[in-house]
A = this chain, B = another copy of it.
Amino acid sequence: MLNVGSNHGKARAFATGIDRVLATPMEAGRARFDFTSDNTAGFCPEALKAIEAANRESVASYGEDDFTRRLCDRVREVFETDCEVFLVFNGTAANSLALAQLCQPYHGIVCHRHAHIQTDECGAPEFFTGGAKLILAEGQNGRIDPDEFQAIIARFRDLHSHKPRVLSLTQATEYGTVYQPDQISALADVAHHSDMLVYLDGARFANAAATLGKSPSDLTWRLGIDAMSFGGIKNGGGNAELVIFCGKELAREFEYRLKQAGQLSSKMRFLAATWLALLDDDLWLRNARHANACADALSQELRRITNATAVFPVEANEVFVSLSAGVYDRITRAGWRFYNFFEPGVYRLMCSWASSQELIKDFARDVEASIQASIQS
């Protein structure tokens, strides 16, 4: 007899991110993931169209196609430098493989205590580097404090500990804030002075660029960034991130590393196609501006309702708010799903290319109703 369905429990464990949301049981048909993350949306229309358009005839596989070739050239134009460009399937792979390229197993990677590579990649950097250590720096609003960074460099100086080799910055940060260009160049100077390299986790680089209003080159290699990821998936591209090495020597044999890591797509044209769409007429920036603007609007709505400002400055597409347990409980019963990031009661709301004023109004209305109900009970 056929026995099906037994790993639904497993499936729940599988996507445990969601478990964090579900303080109350999810009621059928009502869950709304619009503000849970910027990866709950799908492809933006242009990206999907690009996939359809690329789906013609047979083309060379593994990146030897014209789409990939055009994309690499296009990225070099956008970044105004002769960089090396690679496509991978997701952000964890982008970060981990770039770091593996820059590190030996006995090296240390300095990052913020709440960096994505530390908290949300299940040890992918440690795995792909073969044992490198994340050395955690403090700093307000998700940005590494320069004094902290100096202190770490001073502390790790003998062979009984990992040797610091890479400074990893996240732009925009995990808290939806951004580094100002001079903050990055100051940190990069310290790093380079200590024979370290600077990596940028740019999963939301588009959102930072939209906020800062500067060209990609003025936000990266001109500040001392040596290598970076550039996030397309959350931006609406949906199926690929870029890894960019600003110096050619740093990219040496990286294509072998990708292949060995299971990150060389045989049908690369579809990854390149969505990225070509994003780079066409600055769609990546337009998508990011839209998401940022939605976060700003959401933040203002919530301030109006709760009379409280966001926990962190809203400088990209994320809003962190404080809510009482009772209010949160009511909002989730209304179907909305979002993460509790800090105890007690700090929650994250994210906007994306797919957010809309209508969604924000819907959500705000339910928050307002939850607060009212909470007060009355």
Contact with A105, one of B34, B84, B260 (Cβ below 8 angstroms)? B260
Q: Summarize A's interface: helix, strand, loop or mixed.
A: loop
Complex: chain B residue closest to A85, CB-CB: B7
Contact across chains for B239 and A16 when beta carbons are under 8 A apart: no
Contact with A160, one of B122, B127, B233, B239 (Cβ below 8 angstroms)? B122
Please measure, in the bound complex, the distance between the C-alpha atom of A353 and the C-alpha atom of B105, giving whole angstroms.
36
Please measure, in the bound complex, the distance between the C-alpha atom of A239 and the C-alpha atom of B240, giving whole angstroms.
12
Please measure, in the bound complex, the distance between the C-alpha atom of A146 and the C-alpha atom of B129, giving whole angstroms.
32
Please give, as numbers and ranges, the residues of chain B lying within 8 Å of A337 by CB-CB distance. Answer: 60
Interface residue? A73 (CB, 8 A): yes
Contact across chains for A96 and B233 when beta carbons are under 8 A apart: no
- A219: min CB distance to chain B, Å: 17
- A300: min CB distance to chain B, Å: 22
Please measure, in the bound complex, the distance between the C-alpha atom of A123 and the C-alpha atom of B17, giving whole angstroms.
29
Contact across chains for A64 and B15 when beta carbons are under 8 A apart: yes
This protein's copies in its complex? 4
A18-B260 contact in complex given A127-B130, A255-B13, A267-B238, C-beta closer than 8 Å: no
Please measure, in the bound complex, the distance between the C-alpha atom of A133 and the C-alpha atom of B256, giving whole angstroms.
13
Complex: chain B residue closest to A19, CB-CB: B158
Contact across chains for A239 and B270 when beta carbons are under 8 A apart: yes
A residues with a Cβ closer than 8 A to B are 2-8, 10-20, 31-34, 36-37, 39-43, 48, 51-52, 54-65, 68-69, 72-73, 76-77, 80-82, 84-85, 88-93, 96-97, 104-106, 119-124, 126-133, 157-163, 233-234, 238-239, 248, 253, 255-257, 259-270, 337, 354
Q: A4-B73, A106-B253 are in contact. List 18 more A-B contacts (CB 8 A).
A: A8-B69, A16-B157, A16-B158, A16-B159, A34-B57, A36-B60, A36-B61, A39-B266, A40-B59, A90-B266, A104-B257, A106-B259, A119-B160, A123-B131, A123-B260, A124-B261, A159-B255, A159-B256
7 nearest A-B pairs in the assembled complex, by CB-CB distance: A15-B64, A16-B158, A93-B262, A127-B131, A39-B266, A126-B131, A106-B256
